[in-house]
Every structure is written in structure tokens, then in C-alpha cells.
């Protein structure tokens, strides 16, 4: 992964990853005393737009990349002072820990040679090393879907883990949370949860406050833990028919009243209608909706994504180690839909006209990790088996093949076609 990562860092031109100018600016200012104008978000984003051709009608001059690397930025004798407090409006709260790994790399690069390109490379390398180090321990901890996790986050996050993006920390927290959920799903009662495991679970849950907002929807998966839902089901089964009827009426009444009052503040039914129109009606879909299940970069041919998803699910089935309860399968899988609808609702409330344009597949692909119980139970039902050696070989060659193809296409788009290197302009 490190070899592929370092190749991606230097083959991909500076400031051409998604929102890389924004992330570079945020990372720089975590260790700044003056927050110089040259490193402000508008200034660095302007350079980013030029690098990807947005401000030049799609025409990109490769010599601009060289200029980004060689030309020093006027930092106005800026000093070094660490502060995780956001200097601008922060969607994710007043504290910005998400850019901290990249910020360290940007700081080191700044002290060596303060150009936008070199600082960007510094942030990329720091995030890559941080991800590789932390992900190694997650792989060791994962007992149930090791190679599935590697495939999903390395290929699905190939444009993020090699950039200064906050997605790196978000990926790690989410992956750790789901791996921990897999462990908890094998415990039948709360009494079997150790104090250490309880503290670790609480820590990961609280960590959602410091990462991208949509990952908080993963908490819904707690409902799929047998230690929570089995006692409730057992209690319901013990009720008499009259008790079940009364309880059902009470629950329906609460849902009706809650929906009535919430709908006064938030147009629930309108959101659901627009959600169905945009994602279930092909004629009304936007291009982003059509790419909603694109896990590999959009610069790769669509059939590569289809092949990758097939391989991912084959690996998931082959890694079968234990049986998962029906409740776990249902609620873990439903969490994907909850996240999808929740993000759409958030974007719709903010700007209804741009909701479908803002919601992209990258918000959903990490949540595919929660399909592991469903896919593994499916494999068990059909007696699907693969040796550990075959799983490893298939996964490794998939990562190598797609990564090399991505790097070749990125180079070709950057220096031969002179178009936006890392994403298509049809979204």
C-alpha cells in the first residue's frame, strides 16, 4: 500500500484531488500564528480551481503544476503555533482534529520549502503514513472481514488517503467502529462486555463528533446487537395478546404524533418523495445519482466498478468465520439506507435544488462494510467456500490492478490530455 501510495502522491499533480485546496488551507492554519492571506481558503481554492481547469474553461497547462511546486508562497513571516480551534466556520464543530495528521506534514514541508505544491505533498505523505500505520492495527484487530475492509477502504478511498483530506481520519474511526461492532455482535448479553470493551466502544462513539457528520448514522447499527434486541423480543413474546395490541397501538400513536410535529419543522414527506424520484426513477436521476454506487474513482471505466463490487462481495462471502443473527443482518444492512436517506435529508434542508448534486457515492461506499453479516450469511446458505490463500491472492491482485490502472489514467489525463486528472466533469 505504501508503494502505491507514494506513487499516487507524486504522479497526481498538486491540488487536483477533490477539494484539496480547502484541505491544504485548513491543514496549514492549524500551525499558524498569522493565518496569512496567501493560505486562506479562497486564495488556495483559486489555485485549486486553476489546477483542475475550473477557472480556465477546462484547459490545463501542465507548467502550472511545476509553478505550484517551485514558486514559494508569501507567508508574511508567519510563525508556528498549534491550535485545533477552527479559524473559520466549521461544519463539524469548533475543534478540527480531522486535519491534524495532514497538518503535521504540511508544517514539515513548509519549513523545508514553502510552496503550495511541496506543502501539499507534505500533507499527502503525512496522511498516507498515518493511515497505513493506524490501518495496520485495525487489520490485526479485525477477525471477520479483514480483506473486505482492505479492499473497500484502500480502493474506495484511493483518492482520499493519498491527500490532505479529513476523510482519512473519518475512514479510520468508522472502520474501527464497525470492527468493534462485529465483536459486540457475537456477545449474547451485556454482562459479557468487558469494562475495557465498554470504554473503547464509548470512545469510538464519541469520536463521531470530531469527524464528518454523516458517520454518526452508524450509531443506528447498535440496534442490531443481540444483547440489545433479544431481551426486548423475549419480553414481547411473553406478553398476552391484549398486551401486544395495546403496546402496538401506543407505538403507532407515538410515531404518528412525532411525525406530525416533526413534519411541521422538516418536510419529511417531501424529502421522501424527492429521494424516491431521484434514486428510483432513472429518467429523473442526476448524473451523481447514476454514479451513486461507484466505489472506484469515476475516471475509471464503469465496468471496472462492476467487477470490483463482484470481487468485494466474493471476498466477503469467502471470509465467512461465524454465523450472524438475523437482527444483526437486518439492522446493519438498514444502516446503509439510514445513512443514505439521512445525508439526502440534510442536503435537502440546506438547499433543496442541490441535494442530489451534493450527495455523491463517496458518502455511501464506506457503509458497505456493514453488509458483511448479510453477505457472509448468504455465502453460508449456499455453502460458498474459499481458502485464505485464494482470498488473499484475489484481494492483492485486485488492489494492484486497479491502482496501477488508476495511476496510468491519472498520468494520462494530467500530462497528455490536459484535463481534470482525478475526476470526470459529467457529475
Per-residue pLDDT of 288-306, as tens digits, reads 666 778 899 989 998 999 9
Model-level pTM?
0.91
For 240, the grid coordinates are 398476552
Vertex 45 angle, CA 43 and 48, to 5°: 120
| Assigned C-alpha cell, 139 | 487489520
pLDDT at 286: 65
Q: What is the mean pLDDT of residues 217-230?
A: 94
Residue 415 grid cell: 500530462
| CA separation, residue 323 to residues 82, 106, 317, 390 (Å) | 48, 46, 12, 21
The whole-number pLDDT of residue 10 equals: 93
- Round the CA-based radius of gyration of the chain to a whole number and report it: 23
Helix %, strand %, coil % of the chain (to 5): 70, 0, 30
Q: Which residue has the higher pLDDT, 335 or 255?
A: 335
- What are the cell numbers at 249? 397501538
C-alpha count within 13 angstroms, C-beta hemisphere, residue 32: 24
pLDDT beyond 70 at 14: yes
Please give the helix or strand (H or E) that residue 41 lies within, else none.
helix 41-52
Residue with cell 479559524: 87
Q: Give the mean pLDDT of 80-96.
A: 61
Phi and psi based region of residue 383 (left: phi greater than 0; alpha: psi -120 to 50; beta: remaining): left
Question: What is the model's pLDDT at position 2?
Answer: 84
Which candidate, 234, 222, 215, places its Cα nearest to that of 198? Answer: 222
What is the tens place of the pLDDT at every residue in 157-206?
Answer: 888 888 999 999 999 999 999 999 999 999 999 999 999 999 999 999 99
The neighbour count for residue 50, using CB atoms within 10 Å, is: 18
List Cα–Cα distances, 16 to 19, 275, 363, in angstroms.
Answer: 8, 31, 19
The closest alpha carbon to 413, from 3, 39, 62, belongs to 62
pLDDT band (50, 70, 90) for residue 224: very high
Provide the β-strand partners of residue 72.
115
Higher-scoring residue by pLDDT: 191, 95: 191
Angle ∠(102,27,141) on CA atoms, nearest 5: 30
Cα 16 versus chain centre, distance: 19
CB 217 within 8 A of CB 338: yes
Amino acid at each position: 500500500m505504501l508503494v502505491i501510495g507514494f506513487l499516487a502522491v507524486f504522479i497526481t499533480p498538486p491540488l487536483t484531488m477533490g477539494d484539496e485546496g480547502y484541505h491544504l488551507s485548513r491543514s496549514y492554519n492549524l500551525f499558524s500564528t498569522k493565518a496569512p492571506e496567501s493560505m486562506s481558503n479562497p486564495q488556495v481554492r483559486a489555485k485549486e480551481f486553476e489546477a483542475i481547469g475550473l477557472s480556465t474553461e477546462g484547459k490545463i497547462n501542465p507548467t502550472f503544476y511545476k509553478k505550484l511546486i517551485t514558486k514559494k508562497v508569501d507567508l508574511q513571516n508567519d510563525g508556528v503555533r498549534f491550535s485545533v480551534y477552527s479559524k473559520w466556520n466549521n461544519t463539524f464543530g469548533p475543534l478540527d482534529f480531522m486535519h491534524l495528521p495532514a497538518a503535521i506534514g504540511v508544517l514539515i514541508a513548509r519549513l523545508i520549502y514553502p510552496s503550495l505544491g511541496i506543502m501539499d505533498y507534505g500533507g499527502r505523505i503525512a496522511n498516507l503514513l498515518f493511515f497505513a500505520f493506524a490501518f495496520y492495527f485495525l487489520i490485526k484487530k479485525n477477525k471477520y472481514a479483514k480483506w473486505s475492509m482492505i479492499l473497500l477502504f484502500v480502493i474506495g478511498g484511493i483518492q482520499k488517503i493519498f491527500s490532505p483530506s479529513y476523510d482519512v481520519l473519518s475512514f479510520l474511526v468508522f472502520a474501527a467502529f464497525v470492527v468493534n461492532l462485529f465483536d459486540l455482535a457475537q456477545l449474547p448479553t451485556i454482562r459479557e462486555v468487558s469494562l475495557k470493551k465498554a470504554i473503547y466502544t464509548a470512545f469510538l462513539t464519541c469520536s463521531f463528533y470530531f469527524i464528518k457528520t454523516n458517520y454518526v448514522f452508524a450509531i443506528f447499527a447498535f440496534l442490531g446487537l443481540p444483547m440489545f434486541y433479544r431481551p426486548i423480543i423475549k419480553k414481547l413474546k411473553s406478553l398476552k395478546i391484549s398486551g401486544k395490541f395495546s403496546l402496538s397501538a401506543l407505538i403507532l400513536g407515538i410515531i404518528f404524533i412525532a411525525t406530525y410535529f416533526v413534519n411541521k419543522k422538516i418536510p419529511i414527506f417531501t424529502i421522501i418523495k424527492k429521494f424516491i424520484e431521484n434514486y428510483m426513477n432513472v429518467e429523473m436521476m442526476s448524473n451523481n445519482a447514476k454514479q451513486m454506487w461507484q466505489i472506484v474513482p469515476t475516471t475509471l471505466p464503469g465496468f471496472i466498478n462492476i467487477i470490483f463490487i463482484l470481487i468485494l462481495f466474493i471476498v466477503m462471502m469467502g471470509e465467512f468465520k461465524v454465523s450472524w443473527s438475523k437482527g444483526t443482518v437486518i439492522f446493519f444492512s438498514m444502516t446503509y439506507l439510514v445513512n443514505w436517506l439521512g445525508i439526502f435529508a440534510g442536503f435537502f434542508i440546506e438547499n433543496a435544488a442541490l441535494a442530489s448534486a451534493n450527495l455523491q457515492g463517496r458518502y455511501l461506499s464506506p457503509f458497505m462494510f456493514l453488509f458483511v453479516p448479510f453477505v457472509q450469511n448468504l455465502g453460508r446458505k449456499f455453502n460458498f467456500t474459499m481458502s485464505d490463500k485464494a482470498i488473499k491472492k484475489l484481494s492483492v491482485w485486485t488492489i494492484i490492478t486497479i491502482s496501477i490502472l488508476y495511476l496510468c489514467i491519472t498520468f494520462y489525463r494530467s500530462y497528455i490530455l490536459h484535463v481534470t486528472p482525478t475526476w470526470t466533469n459529467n457529475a
